[in-house]
Structure 1
Amino acid sequence: MTSLDKEFAGKVVLVTGAGSGIGRAVALLMHARGASVIAEDKSPTVEELACPGLVPLVADITLDGAAEQAVGKAIEHFGRLDILVNNAGIILNKLLVDMTREDWEQVQQVNVTAAFLHAREAAKVMIPQRSSAIVNIASYAAYQAFPTIAAYAASKGALVQLTRALALEVIEHGIRVNAVGSGDVVTNILNDVVEDGPSALADHGQTTPIKRAAQADEIAEVVAFLASERASYLVGSVVMADGGMSVMAG
């Protein structure tokens, strides 16, 4: 047994977008390390995760009341909420001149507004506990851009600034808020954009200094670190886990 095996024993975690990819990896990793987990996702596939100490919740995070329902489920099942991981996200590859208002707003609703709503409701129950953590999944696209990702880049830039501002508001209550600046990860996020999303991400990962995309488990490890007491001095930080993409020359 290593010192990490029960790192989250007694902790209750809420993970959005837990049906696949990074969110699923985070939910499983934290559960394996002792946490009780609420795994929230719009897709019914999240129900496959159900087991003692891991409760799935099928919900659309963009709808009014979804955040309240998710936090309420944590309280109902486990009596508290210690860690929130705002992972759910979507991407749109479309030139700005071809983008509809609906396109734009959908990306912002999932990537930013839902994170705001979940963080707001989580903070309400975390403040009296005096020791909690919120981790947001951002992207190197918060700082870098290329054609067709205007909506996504704007949403991740907003999520970074939400992270930093909220971190200053709640640190006096013992809540640490940080983010992961994720790079290309082999997930299904591009499946609605290209025929084979995981392969496209794997190919794009070849352009990074490390010459590959990440696996979801690798990002989950960074999330677990930020959520743990091992990161006790990190407040409003964005930890770049992008294979060196963010340090490349433009």
Structure 2
Amino acid sequence: MVEELHGRVAIVTGAGGTVGRAIARRMAEAGAEVMLADAEGDALDESCAAVRDVTDSFARFNLARPDKLGAANLIAATIDAFGRIDILVNEPRATRPGAFEELKREDFAAALDTNVTSTFMLSQAVAKRMIHQGASEEDFDGAIINVSSIAAQRTVPELIAYSVSCAALDQLTRSMAADLARHGIRVNGVALGAVMSARLRETLRERADLRAEMIKVTPLGRIGEADEAAEAALFLASHRASFITGQVISVDGGRTVLDPLASPIR
């Protein structure tokens, strides 16, 4: 096993979710020491068990509120456990369904708060720590990866709060990348589409027809696995992506390359 992240420390938020768990485990397999953070204690227990199969070099943090205090405590816990921070993965994705005319203001605000504001606050706090750390290290390579969705590029009226917040998250990714590049910190995104998660699995149980619909509009002809999203995050965190910043890579089986209007109209 090639330990691409040996000697590096990664924080993975949303680590209790299917994708967050896969990312945490994959980074542990690559040699990183990993801090797993999530608000859901039981889900976090399951993720820690999955990482424990790979390494003992991990810790957990119950991130009950992703606010300024929560970010400060998470960073302090990571430094206490591992002494440094090299990688941050933000996987906060909150889906708030609802048509525009029915969407409540608080639900719209909550989607922005979870997907954008919390990512901004934690990333800013971690970036400050990385800048301080990099000041005494030659060729410091910090990496921040924001997990987004192709909903930022595709308009689905029932997911307006989610799609708008993901679009804002993608722009935040690009803006952070431009500002932090001078400090040796790369910022990229992973936009997911038709990747199996606990949320998608539940939706597929409720809508038997949806699986066939998703496969039909996915050029690769299948639903992706969380491990495939984790591979993209690992690549962006590693030195293999040392000249890549400000990019949002779609992990979607090719869905975003299709025109939903199949007729050849010019």
Could you say whether these structures have the same fold, taking a TM-score greater than 0.5 normalized by the shorter chain as the test? yes
1:227 matches 2:251: no
Q: CA RMSD for the aligned pairs? A: 2.0
Counterpart amino acid of 1:219? Answer: A
Report % sequence identity: 37
Partner residue, 2:205: 196
In the alignment of these two chains, the number of paired residues is 246
Evaluate the alpha carbon distance shift between residue 223 and residue 202 of structure 1 in structure 2; reply closer, same or farther with a 3 A threshold: farther
Evaluate the alpha carbon distance shift between residue 238 and residue 197 of structure 1 in structure 2; reply closer, same or farther with a 3 A threshold: farther
TM-score by length of 2: 0.86
* SS in structure 1 at match of 2:10: strand
Moved over 6 A (4+): 197-201
1:97 matches 2:106: no
In 2, are the aligned partners of 1:47 and 1:58 still within 8 Å (CA)?
Answer: no
Partner residue, 2:214: 205
2:45 to 44, 47, 50: 47
Unpaired stretches in structure 1, ≥5 consecutive residues: none
Q: Output aligned runs, 1:50-199, within 5 Å.
A: 51=52, 52-128=56-132, 129=134, 130-190=140-200, 194=203, 196=205
* SS in structure 1 at match of 2:199: coil
In 1, are the aligned partners of 2:93 and 2:148 still within 8 Å (CA)?
Answer: no
Counterpart amino acid of 1:16? Answer: T
TM-score by length of 1: 0.92
In 2, are the aligned partners of 1:184 and 1:204 still within 8 Å (CA)?
Answer: no
Partner residue, 2:34: 37
Evaluate the alpha carbon distance shift between residue 221 and residue 202 of structure 1 in structure 2; reply closer, same or farther with a 3 A threshold: farther
Question: Per-residue deviation at 1:184?
Answer: 1.4
In 2, are the aligned partners of 1:42 and 1:61 still within 8 Å (CA)?
Answer: yes
Higher Rg: 2
Question: Per-residue deviation at 1:202?
Answer: 4.4
Which moves more between the two structures, 111-120 or 195-204? 195-204
* SS in structure 2 at match of 1:90: coil
